[in-house]
Amino acid sequence: MAKKKKLAAKVKTKAAPKPKSAAKETGFAAVASHSITPFLMYNANPEEAAKFYVSIFKKSRILTANSMQADFILNGQRFFSYNGGPGFSFNWGVSLMITVETQKEVDYYWNALLAGGGKESMCGWLQDKFGLWWQVTPKILMQLTLHKDRAKAERAKEAMMKMQKIDIAELKAAADSK
């Protein structure tokens, strides 16, 4: 019995190993140089598209561009684009959402992105002349459609569903009606 106690005293229990994160296993943990860059495949000239977008958004610039590819920044977000030919087109399953505060901003982005042949759609969505889908979304729209008063939220959603370009005053009036 004394031998068993001595043996037990010598055996040290090890703490369970800490689980490794997937990021550490792949070697990408805390590496600031990795980012997500949208890659847009057009059936159009990416240089023309980049010039169009940079003319609309402040804090934007073209890094490199030609008729086959473009690398540009819109409001601090980097994009890369390529002319993939007629086999490539966008759909509204993936869109770029512009969050704005005022009706003046809604109107500005809506009109600018439609210029030259874009198409209006429903609920604040539009397709620009290069085929890319956008949502021009006032913050109040999200606040109202997610409101804790579910009846108010539903009225806001119903109003939005009838709109193409979002009208903030109309949206608020619908949400506040009883």
Gyration radius of the chain over CA positions: 26
Overall average pLDDT of the 87-99 stretch: 94
CA atoms within 13 A on the CB side of 61: 3
Q: Cα(61)–Cα(146) distance, rounded to whole angstroms?
A: 35
Q: Decide: residue 46, CB within 10 A, 0-12 exposed, 13-18 middle, 19+ buried.
A: buried
**Residue 2's pLDDT is what?**
55
Domains and CATH numbers, the chain: 39-83 (3.10.180.10), 96-176 (3.10.180.10)
Overall average pLDDT of the 49-62 stretch: 97
Is the pTM of the predicted complex or chain greater than 0.85? no
- Mean pLDDT score of the chain: 88
**Residue 178's pLDDT is what?**
80
- For residue 35, name the pLDDT band (cuts at 50, 70, 90): confident
